Structure 1
Amino acid sequence: MATNPIQQPSTVTAVPHPRPPLPGDLRSLARALASAPAEPRWREHMVGRLGPVRRGFAEHVRLTEGPAGLYAELLYQAPRLDRGVRLLAGEHTAIAAAIAALQHAVRLPSVPAEELREQARNLLRALDRHRQRGADLLWEAYQADLGGED
């Protein structure tokens, strides 16, 4: 069965930055995480790094979900991607909750630094997996429709 090639999603070109802000924010969070928790103001540094991560992730959700988002456009052009899109959209809620929980916990002096570091490592892994799944989904969309022809 032949399908029409998927056109590059128009929402990608609507991003106001040349690259999404999230990856740099994640590197900044990872650097703060790698510093010693015994350093003065370590928790303050963590709080300062989590705000941009939360805002960047909220922007990612805004650009991907909703009637004009990337996911809607992908589903319009390739309904077979429904399962993958639903998986990614479902991860948004869990990741946003993990960011909020870490932001709350890091402000509580009673939460041990090692527990905070573990939460932050889990968050970074979840974000990395989410980004890879999104990239895989896009690859699948374009590879299946554009690749394989000689």
Structure 2
Amino acid sequence: MDAEFAAYLERVRAHRAELGESMAALDAALALPVGLGSLWRRRVRAALTELAHDLRDHRSLTEAEGGLYADAVARAPRLASVAAVQLAEHGEFVEIVERLLGERESGLDGADSVAAHREAATDLVGRLVRHRQRGADLIYEAYEVDIGGSD
């Protein structure tokens, strides 16, 4: 692995830690009692906003020409189907976060809409955890490098 790509993987590792922190912040906000009302809403909104930012950064970093997924598939074509799943999920995650933020903008009227919002955001956190697991496995299989969970 050349020095330039090794430095790129270090950026991926650092960003992975940031994304993990965003996910943890959302998980922590969702775990607060809904009965806290506006505090719960503000914390969830702030966590979703940060997650949206980190997801956009993650996409641009890993999907860039010559980026992580393109290089991994070039090195190990057998990983193409896993990379395709990862790439497709990027778009899905961005759409879900935008939808959740849109719900925040339009307002969550009543206990049922708050519960559905919380459930959708909790499901997103679970999907992101599995996405990160597959990404770590893909990178390890392509490069025999552990990018870690967080720093």
TM-score normalized with structure 2 length: 0.80
Q: Greater CA radius of gyration, 1 or 2?
A: 1
Deviation at 1:46, TM superposition (A): 1.1
SS of residue matched to 1:67: coil
Deviation at 1:35, TM superposition (A): 0.6
Structure 1 distance, partners of 2:115, 2:17, is 30
Q: Percent identity?
A: 31
Structure 2 distance, partners of 1:137, 1:15, is 13
Mapped contact 1:46–1:106 kept (Cα < 8 A)? no
Deviation at 1:13, TM superposition (A): 2.7
Deviation at 1:83, TM superposition (A): 1.3
Of residues 130-139 and 107-116 in structure 1, the stretch that sits farther from structure 2 once superposed is 107-116
Deviation at 1:126, TM superposition (A): 1.0
Structure 2 distance, partners of 1:104, 1:90, is 21
- What do residues 28-68 of structure 1 show as CA deviations (whole Å, max 9, x unaligned)? 11111011111131212211111110111111111110213
Partner residue, 1:26: 23
Mapped contact 2:75–2:142 kept (Cα < 8 A)? no
Mapped contact 2:100–2:117 kept (Cα < 8 A)? yes
Structure 1, gaps ≥5 residues long: 1-6, 144-150
Mapped contact 1:88–1:134 kept (Cα < 8 A)? yes
Structure 1 distance, partners of 2:26, 2:84, is 28
Deviation at 1:17, TM superposition (A): 4.3
Structure 2 distance, partners of 1:32, 1:63, is 27
Matched, 1:85 2:86: no
Of residues 134-143 and 91-100 in structure 1, the stretch that sits farther from structure 2 once superposed is 134-143
Of residues 109-118 and 80-89 in structure 1, the stretch that sits farther from structure 2 once superposed is 109-118
Structure 2, gaps ≥5 residues long: 145-151
Q: Which has the higher helix share?
A: 2
- Poorly superposed stretches of 4+, deviation over 4 Å: 15-19
Structure 1 distance, partners of 2:49, 2:17, is 15
